[in-house]
Structure 1
Amino acid sequence: MQRPARTITRIQRKNTAAILDAALEVFSAHGFRGATVDQIAKAAGLSKPNLLYYFPSKEAIHAALLDGLMETWLDPLRAMDEAGDPLEAVLGYVRRKLEMSRDFPRESRLFANEIIQGAPRIGPNLSGELKELVDQKAEVIRHWIEDGKIAEINPHHLIFSIWALTQHYADFDVQVHAVLGGDHVDPYPEAQRYLETLFTRLLTP
């Protein structure tokens, strides 16, 4: 006989969320190798044994974060509308990626740290789900080029350049603010204007 599913209590949901939020802070600051269960437990306000009740290891916490992150990471590209105006579709993707850097900087750094380390935990996702989506959208961009709607450009490298130019503001946040004059400066409005101008000029036939 199949056992009934265990009911998750409000406290369990609260503690799980606290652990994942604390882990995101620790992993994004120290990377996977530099982070410890003790650091995560302290940041979550829990004892180490209590944390290990919810997640058996640092690897399990990291995997849970990355699983949730991949969906969030791919959503802006999925939203690129092949039926809409091509230039506006690309600019919309640029804006969504820039908003992600502004609103989810810790998630961006977590992803960057994983990639820098050789993607040992999400390699299959990159060569599977991510590649399939990028190839699909690259084919859409290629059709726009063939129809003369945007300038001729390598679709994959266009997507790579959007990643680089938007994620920079999250992954190198300290450098950006140091150059622009401190933490009180908001780089995003001007960054959006600059990137929209850049890609409009690049893609206009």
Structure 2
Amino acid sequence: MIGKSASGQSGKAAPQTRIQRAKREAILEAGLTVFSEAGFRGATLDRIASEAGLSKPNLLYYYPSKEAIYEALLRGLLETWLDPLQAIDPMGEPVEELLGYVRRKLQMSRDFPRQSRLFANEIVQGAPRIMPVLEGELRGMVDRLAMVIEGWIAEGRLAPVDPRHLMFSVWSLTQHYADFDVQVRAVLNADDPYPGAETHLELLFRRLLTP
């Protein structure tokens, strides 16, 4: 039997109030901070609730478990992470399209460092919650991009590279600045490493990709 929502419409969930949306956002923001610092195993509901400024029972009203908060964060993160890959235009100029991807990935490390660390922690743990996405959607997107890159190479518009290892290089060289932020800033003795990183990575990949 299908129940009725508070709005009286059969089968439809009641819309969230502004306060409910704000509390969910506060919980996710707090969860992002705690998970990115402590990892999934080290995070606790008590710490997330405290970070969100809520009582634990209040938090549990919105999310029934630590796993539910973590999985909600990962779903949003995966959408954000895949968008720059989808923005590569097969009809564009090959080197510039790939350099644009490098810039977008570096900008994500600058703007979303906690998300990057959350993703890295999940991968280090063996990706138990996102393996289907990695083996399905992500692999499919990389396979399609690999065909585009191989076509560009065959046309003489791109230097010969292994498309998949090229993606690994982009991911590792850009996400390093978020995942190892403390080390980067300590070695550079700089408050903002990103202008220099963008210049270096553009030079590196332009030399690699230009035929």
Common topology (TM > 0.5)? yes
Structure 1 residue 138, shift from structure 2 partner: 1.2
Tell whether 2:195 aligns with 1:189.
yes
Tell whether 2:193 aligns with 1:148.
no
Rounded Cα–Cα distance in structure 1 between residues aligned with 2:28 and 2:15: 20
Q: What secondary structure does 1:118 align onto?
A: coil
Q: Which residue of 1 aligns with 2:89?
A: 81
Rounded Cα–Cα distance in structure 1 between residues aligned with 2:149 and 2:3: 50
Tell whether 2:29 aligns with 1:21.
yes
Equivalent residue runs for 1:1-205 within 5 Å: 3=4, 4=9, 5-182=13-190, 185-205=191-211
The amino acid of 1:180's aligned partner reads L
Structure 2: 5+ residue runs without aligned partners? none
Rounded Cα–Cα distance in structure 2 between residues aligned with 1:6 and 1:200: 52
Structure 1: 5+ residue runs without aligned partners? none
Structure 1 residue 165, shift from structure 2 partner: 0.3
Identical positions, percent: 67
The amino acid of 2:68's aligned partner reads A
The amino acid of 1:124's aligned partner reads P
Q: What secondary structure does 2:127 align onto?
A: coil
Question: With structure 1 as the length reference, what TM-score do the two structures score?
Answer: 0.97
CA RMSD of aligned residues (A): 0.9
Rounded Cα–Cα distance in structure 1 between residues aligned with 2:182 and 2:143: 33
Which of 4-13 and 20-29 deviates more? 4-13
The number of aligned residues is 203
Rounded Cα–Cα distance in structure 2 between residues aligned with 1:164 and 1:132: 20
Structure 1 residue 88, shift from structure 2 partner: 0.1
Which of 17-26 and 129-138 deviates more? 129-138
Rounded Cα–Cα distance in structure 2 between residues aligned with 1:76 and 1:13: 27
Structure 1 residue 7, shift from structure 2 partner: 2.4
Q: What secondary structure does 1:23 align onto?
A: helix
Structure 1 residue 2, shift from structure 2 partner: 5.2
The amino acid of 2:206's aligned partner reads T
Rounded Cα–Cα distance in structure 2 between residues aligned with 1:12 and 1:90: 41
The amino acid of 1:95's aligned partner reads R
Question: With structure 2 as the length reference, what TM-score do the two structures score?
Answer: 0.94
Rounded Cα–Cα distance in structure 2 between residues aligned with 1:138 and 1:103: 27
Rounded Cα–Cα distance in structure 2 between residues aligned with 1:31 and 1:14: 24
The amino acid of 2:91's aligned partner reads A
